Chain A
Amino acid sequence: MEPNQNPPESARSRALNWIIVGVVVIGALLYLAKSRRDQVHNSVANAAVAGNAPLLIAPSIAGRAAPEWKLPDVDGKPVDFSQFKGHPVVIDFWASWCGPCKDEIPWWNQLQAKYKDQGLIIIGVSEDDSVNDVKNFLKTTPLDYTVVMDQQRLQSSYGMPEGLPTTFFIDRNGKIVSRVLGLEAQPELEHRVQQIL
């Protein structure tokens, strides 16, 4: 066997090489993720100009199990998502400062009443910073369904809302059927509710 022509790399040099590769790969992935997020933001902006909210059903979301969570309601009592097992569930991310969200509230009230006997559960997840803001809001605009405070706890599992309202439609098996970003007309919302009953 002939001796090697080049001196062997030290372990330290090899480690440095792999660290460099890691930095490049991570940077590329983050850049691609941001580019995709910016594409979504730009598409949202373009849709806003066109007057239509885009329906976003990310292939990675539809069919997936809805993540578990436990959040306080406006009185501080814990609400556990697992208690709704077997029910069709609508999770609507909203806030008291969100005009389009407020447009949908009467429709959600109507749908909750209409499909209550079929087990429909609607949950309003507030993105307000203060529970007092929500309590004050509820004095003038009642929500006839469960309201919980997110306080950014669901962002890691359900994703940072790109905008509000963001609504998840979850079937009786706990699978996400669809996700809607932005205001949608009442007939469309009802159609999506019917899909999960």
Chain B
Amino acid sequence: MFNKSFKIAAVVSGATMLALAQGPAQVAQVKSPAVTRIAENARASARLTVTIQPGFHIQSDHPKSDFLIPTALKLTPADGIAVERVVWPAPQEHKFSFSADPLSVFEGSVPVVVKLKETGQHLGSHVLKGTFRYQACSDQLCRPPVTVPVSLTVDVVAPHHG
């Protein structure tokens, strides 16, 4: 009934559509650098970028109310690479129609710095895995909190590597 070429094309297109159908549209996305280099027994900074859809904001890492869900980036240490801290920029103070006081939020493009420390002799490429959690709102509505996976590729090089 169906020749071989048709079957292959049908399976590929069906699988593609299934893959594309996965996952909701994200209001905020985090982009990691392609590679972050760190020397043995040294420190380095990985610079990530969080991009938020226009019209939306996400809570800052330290929102003003305990009821608000803070934005958080967490990475699990691995292979002698420790995460010393995550540095967020100063948030924006924004007054919304639904709040009596200004809220502490992030909007637009947000640079995030992850401070790393290499504590052992683990030359080579390593991947740190973690999560990015945020909760976004517009002036009119709020999206449910979201937790998405994040990964950071780190190359450990010998000291004084060129």
Contact = CB atoms under 8 A, between A and B. Distances in A.
Given A31-B20, A31-B21, A183-B98, A48 B14 contact: no
Interface residues of A, number: 51
Contacts of B35: none
Contacts of A142: none
Interface string B43-84: 000000000011110000000001111000000000000000
Contacts of B10: 20-21, 23-24
A97 B146 CA distance: 13
Contact of B98 (A14, A17, A23, A100): A100
A31 B55 contact: no
Nearest to B16: A27
Interface string B9-47: 011011111101110110100000000000000000000
Nearest to A137: B67
B85 to A, nearest CB: 25
A95 B15 CA distance: 37
Interface stretch (A33-41, A60-68, A70-78, A79-87): A33-41
Interface stretch (B112-120, B125-133, B134-142, B150-158): B134-142
B55 A46 contact: yes
A186 interface: no
B61 to A, nearest CB: 15
A45 B138 contact: yes
A163 B25 CA distance: 13
Interface string A169-187: 0000000000001110000
Interface of B: 1-2, 7, 10-11, 13-18, 20-22, 24-25, 27, 53-56, 66-69, 96-99, 103, 135, 137-145
Interface of A: 9, 13-14, 16-17, 20-21, 23-28, 30-31, 33-34, 37-38, 41-42, 44-49, 51-53, 95-103, 127, 133, 136-137, 161-165, 181-183
Given A27-B13, A27-B16, A30-B18, 10 more contacts: A23-B11, A30-B21, A38-B25, A41-B24, A45-B27, A47-B138, A95-B144, A97-B135, A100-B139, A101-B142
